[in-house]
Structure 1
Amino acid sequence: MADQQCCVIVGVGPGLGAAVARRFAAAGYAVALASRNPDRLAPLVAEIAAAGGSARAYRADATDETEVTALFDAAEKDLGPIGVAVFNASGRVRKPIAEIEAQEFIDAWMRGCFGGFLVGREAARRMQPRNAGTILFTGATASVKAFPLSAGFAVAKYGLRALAESMARALQPEGIHVAHFVIDGAIGSDETNARLDPTAIAETYYQTHAQHPSAWSSSVELRPWTENF
């Protein structure tokens, strides 16, 4: 399609990242799948192609400014103008505060927050001249609630939420939709629906992207019906 747009997804694993890729590919987007280990994405690329979609895997470390810029350059060159960017990468350290090494804390923040800044900034730079686009950030319970062992995780997620809020206020008047998702619960599939099904989450991501500009969501919380909050 000559007018096909690209959806860049940074942080693609077998769960939510893959589900988001399938959903946007089914909607007609050419999907750029970014991971530090792109070879493992070959089955997903083949699956999307077999379903009639378009996808390509790229190597990119979300904490490396040069690699993130190169990713967006390559995705636009190979797949078309970027209409959607999804930041789904994360870093986690689960330890008592006295046991967290400084580098562990820095690495978790870099993967979970600084990477979001680089991806969000690069997406904004591509979308602002067109006054259109959607930028989506995957958060967690730790985005709003810091538990005793979550200092090495919550700091990054709180920061990512602050980044998304700032970007939403700055960019939405320019026609760029920015939304942050609090994924409150474990992701997976079971018969009781006690966990967040990745396909259901991906559908919410897509429907948020598809919202009419007169009624945009900038903050969305998702949890199973059994989850306490």
Structure 2
Amino acid sequence: MSAPVCAVVGFGPGLGAAVARRFAAGGFAVLGLCRDPARHAALPKQTAVMVYNAYRASFAAPGPSALAPADLAADFAVNVTGALVAVQAVLPGMRAAGQGSILFTGGGLALDPTGWLPAASLAVGKAGLRSLALTLHAELASQTIHAGTVTIAGTVARHTAFDPDRIAEAFWDLHADPAGAFQPEIIFRG
């Protein structure tokens, strides 16, 4: 029997790689997907876990009033619309299998969008992503498909309280929730 697949959408050398290492240690074959489509294959239909870690951020000082509408739209397309597209790609296989985990990398700006005003576009995107995660959780939990978000309330950096390997454990913990006790969110405060 082949290993279950964990697809990490938004794979990079930081948190994406840490999540990939954690799920590989848990017995998963890992598929890392990044911005360059030539560097990865399509999401396999047998994906047991999908982690949406992609994001785009435009910064505008002093805050949202200086943000170009086109930048906000482009950021939202990656931060929320891209997440929905990824979900729709893996959900038929998860429904057929009667199980799966859809996990999102959230951000503390979804909880307090005034934390850094030049990042207003990212705050809007993370709030939208959090809403998507929580509504998918409500829709899918009865189908034994776990949707949830790890909301990171700090800056990801090695050798800090927000070390990517520590955060990856929160993704594993969220995935490991038993059916009937799925958590919709872990707020990672370091």
Same fold (TM over 0.5): yes
Q: What residue in structure 1 maps to residue 186 of structure 2? A: 220
SS at match of 2:118: coil
**CA distance in 2 between partners of 1:214 and 1:125 (Å):** 21
% identical aligned pairs: 31
Query: For 1:91, which of 56, 60, 67 is the aligned residue?
Result: 56
Paired residues in the alignment total 186
Q: What residue in structure 1 maps to residue 34 of structure 2? A: 35
Q: What residue in structure 2 maps to residue 169 of structure 1? A: 138
Using a 3 Å threshold, how does the CA distance of structure 1 residues 220 and 157 change in structure 2: closer, same or farther?
A: same
The letter of the residue matching 2:126 is K
Which runs of 5 or more structure 1 residues have no equivalent in the other structure? 40-56, 60-70, 225-229
SS at match of 1:7: strand
Rg comparison, structure with higher value? 1
The letter of the residue matching 1:17 is G
**CA distance in 2 between partners of 1:7 and 1:32 (Å):** 6
Q: CA shift at 1:3, angstroms?
A: 3.4
Q: What residue in structure 2 maps to residue 51 of structure 1? A: none
**CA distance in 1 between partners of 2:24 and 2:135 (Å):** 29
1:196 equivalent in alignment to 2:162: yes
TM-score, with normalisation over the residues of structure 2? 0.91
**CA distance in 2 between partners of 1:17 and 1:198 (Å):** 8
> Counterparts in 2 of 1:142-161, with a 5 A limit?
142-147=109-114, 148-161=117-130
**CA distance in 1 between partners of 2:163 and 2:94 (Å):** 30
Query: For 1:100, which of 67, 72, 84 is the aligned residue?
Result: 67
Using a 3 Å threshold, how does the CA distance of structure 1 residues 97 and 204 change in structure 2: closer, same or farther?
A: closer
Which runs of 5 or more structure 2 residues have no equivalent in the other structure? none
Could you list the structure 1 runs, at least 4 aligned residues long, displaced by more than 2 angstroms after superposition.
96-99, 148-151
**CA distance in 2 between partners of 1:109 and 1:183 (Å):** 18
SS at match of 1:32: strand
Q: CA shift at 1:38, angstroms?
A: 6.5
Which protein has greater RCO, CA pairs closer than 8 Å, 6+ apart?
Answer: 2
Q: CA shift at 1:132, angstroms?
A: 0.3
SS at match of 1:213: coil
Contact 2:170/2:186 (CA < 8 Å) preserved in 1?
no
TM-score, with normalisation over the residues of structure 1? 0.76
Question: Once superposed, what is the RMSD of the aligned Cα atoms?
Answer: 1.6
* Larger displacement relative to structure 2 (28-37 or 147-156): 147-156
